[in-house]
Amino acid sequence: MVEPQQQPPLDFEAIEHRQNLENRAEMAAEIAQRSDRLRTRVLHFAEQFDIPEADFWRALDANPNGPLAAVLAREARRQNIHERAAAAYIAALAHVAQFRKLPSGGPNARYINGDGQIVTGEQLAGARHPSKSIDFQWQTGAVTCYAAQKYTREGGGTQDNQFNEIQSLLRNFLQRINNGVALFILVDGPYYNETRLAQLQGLVRMQNPRSYVSSVNALLPILADIAGG
* Residue range 153-207, pLDDT digits in tens: 887 778 899 999 999 999 999 999 989 999 999 999 999 999 999 999 999 999 9
Mean of pLDDT values over 69-91: 95
Cβ atoms of residues 4 and 218 within 8 Å: no
Q: Which domain holds residue 68?
A: 27-73
Residue 131 pLDDT class (50, 70, 90 cuts): confident
Q: Is residue 161 part of a domain?
A: yes
Asked if residue 69 and residue 88 are part of one domain, the reply reads no
pLDDT tens digits along 25-38: 999 999 999 999 99
Q: Report the pLDDT value the prediction gives residue 1, as an integer from 0 to 100.
A: 43
Cβ atoms of residues 100 and 133 within 8 Å: no
Q: Report the pLDDT value the prediction gives residue 5, as an integer from 0 to 100.
A: 54
pLDDT tens digits along 81-99: 999 999 999 999 999 999 9
Q: Report the pLDDT value the prediction gives residue 2, as an integer from 0 to 100.
A: 45
CA 51 to chain centre: 36
For strand 143-151 and strand 181-188, is the pairing parallel, antiparallel, or unpaired?
A: parallel
Q: Is residue 116 part of a domain?
A: yes
Q: Which residue among 45, 73, 101 closes a domain?
A: 73
Asked if residue 103 and residue 175 are part of one domain, the reply reads yes
Question: ∠ at Cα 41 (38, 42), nearest 5°?
Answer: 85
Q: How many domains does the chain fold into?
A: 2
Report the distance separating Cα 99 and Cα 90, nearest Å: 8
Q: Is residue 132 part of a domain?
A: yes
Asked if residue 128 and residue 31 are part of one domain, the reply reads no
Q: Which residue among 9, 41, 73 closes a domain?
A: 73
Asked if residue 207 and residue 114 are part of one domain, the reply reads yes
> CB-hemisphere CA count at 13 Å for 44?
8
Residue of 15, 212, 151, 6 lying closest to 93 (CA atoms): 6
Asked if residue 85 and residue 69 are part of one domain, the reply reads no
Q: Would you call 52 exposed, middle or buried from its count of C-beta atoms within 10 A (0-12, 13-18, 19+)?
A: exposed
We report the CATH number of the domain holding residue 196 as 3.40.91
Q: In 3-state terms, what secondary structure has residue 170?
A: helix
Q: Is residue 17 part of a domain?
A: no
